[in-house]
Amino acid sequence: MKNFLLPLFLIFSSLSHGIDVKIQGNNLIVNDEPFYMKGICYHPVKKGQTKRNFTNLKEDLELMKEAGINTIRVYEPIDDIKVLDQLYDSGIKVVIGFGYNQRGRFDIVSGTFINYIRKYKDHEAILMWELGNEYNYNAQWFDGDINNWYKAMEFVAQIIQSEDSSRLVSSAHGDLPSNDALRIASSIQVWGMNVYRWDEPASIFEEWKAVSDKPMYFAELGADSYMTKSTSKYQKGENQQAQADANKIILNEVLVNSDSNIGSFVFQFTDGLWKAGNPSKQDTGGSAPNSDGTPYDGTANEEYWGIVDINRKKKITFDVVKEAYVNFDINK
């Protein structure tokens, strides 16, 4: 953690001019209007490849708009003004995620994240800055003490707020943050949570209210379309209906309780063939921490989470997401 501190002493404060994002009560306000993040996690990797690629962006944005999606969440910064411009022109906002150690490319440990913020903070497509993704499950990255990560979060959040006071700083935490996380990283303004509690995400609301009065959003939620075992209702194997049924219940619980959260990001837009085995074909398997709450088999079949498949063919759950998001209006 200590390696990234020195470069940041040179930081000075300035203001962003493209967008104004704030919290009023438990509501997200964007340019003086209430805004609810009807989101999707977006990490497009082409078949046979392992790196993110935006060549399908035009088609993807058309599908997102059809599904009522207004915000994407990315796991690493988008260093391409043309991509950000396309997002803005399509009316899609983006939550930019910064990783701790990304080999010095706009990451936290090197301090280069601030270069990205300075470069793009005036771009109106960018909604929020987000630190990490489920790092609380990986204390080994921080000398065996996850509090080192929370200390880094706190330091970086203060730096970002001094550089860009027009946006919020959040973190994507694996489920409910601990009291230590909330105490140490007190400058985190909004908490994102990756919540996989079968098809009962609303169970987290009372738990959150008991420990914090800050707003929260679902940085990840949803279900995959593969069953590793049969149940009384769903057959083993690829099962789009199981995914659709779970997502319908999950999104209904979240949106009905929109007074208790400021957004939800369904995981994820397209199937990820790069995650488990041969990236040229769709494999079963793949692991994720705390995945025993994944409906309806308790297994994170990592390559089957898309609302569209790798060829952009809509799954059954696409229409579930579309119905939920298109019919939801935070102002009603």
In this prediction, residue 288 carries a pLDDT of 84
Pairing of strands 93-98, 126-133: parallel
d(C-alpha 287, C-alpha 301), whole Å: 7
Average pLDDT estimate for 212-240: 97
pLDDT above 80 for 7: no
In this prediction, residue 4 carries a pLDDT of 39
CA 317 from chain centre, in angstroms, equals 19
In this prediction, residue 332 carries a pLDDT of 85
What does 301-323 look like in DSSP terms, one character per residue?
A: -TT---SB-TT-PBPHHHHHHHH
pLDDT above 90 for 134: yes
For the domain 2-7+21-326, what is the CATH code? 3.20.20.80
Q: Residues with Cβ < 8 Å from 310, sequence gap 6 or more? A: 46, 47, 270, 271, 273, 282
Q: pLDDT tier at 17 (50, 70, 90 boundaries)?
A: low
d(C-alpha 50, C-alpha 44), whole Å: 10
Burial annotation 100-139 (CB, 10 A radius, 16+ → b, else e): bebeeebbbbbbbbbebbeebbebbbbbbbbbbbbbbbee
**What digits encode the pLDDT tens for the residues 280-325?**
999 998 878 888 999 999 999 999 999 999 999 999 999 999 999 9
**What digits encode the pLDDT tens for the residues 169-202?**
999 999 999 999 999 999 999 999 999 999 999 9
Pairing of strands 216-221, 263-266: parallel
Average pLDDT estimate for 47-75: 98
Average pLDDT estimate for 209-215: 97
For the CA atoms of the chain, what is the radius of gyration?
19
What does 105-163 look like in DSSP terms, one character per residue?
A: SS-STTSTHHHHHHHHTT-TTEEEEEEEESGGG-GGGGTT-THHHHHHHHHHHHHHHHH
d(C-alpha 127, C-alpha 105), whole Å: 21
Average pLDDT estimate for 262-287: 95
Query: Maximum distance among all alpha carbons in the chain?
Result: 61
Q: pLDDT tier at 16 (50, 70, 90 boundaries)?
A: very low
Who has greater pLDDT, 220 or 287? 220
Nearest residue to 271 via CA among 37, 46, 51:
46
Asked if residues 40 and 72 have their Cβ atoms less than 8 Å apart, the reply is yes
pLDDT above 50 for 128: yes
The pLDDT mean for the chain works out to 94
d(C-alpha 12, C-alpha 327), whole Å: 44
pLDDT above 60 for 145: yes
Nearest residue to 72 via CA among 98, 101, 44, 37:
37
Name the pTM for this structure: 0.94
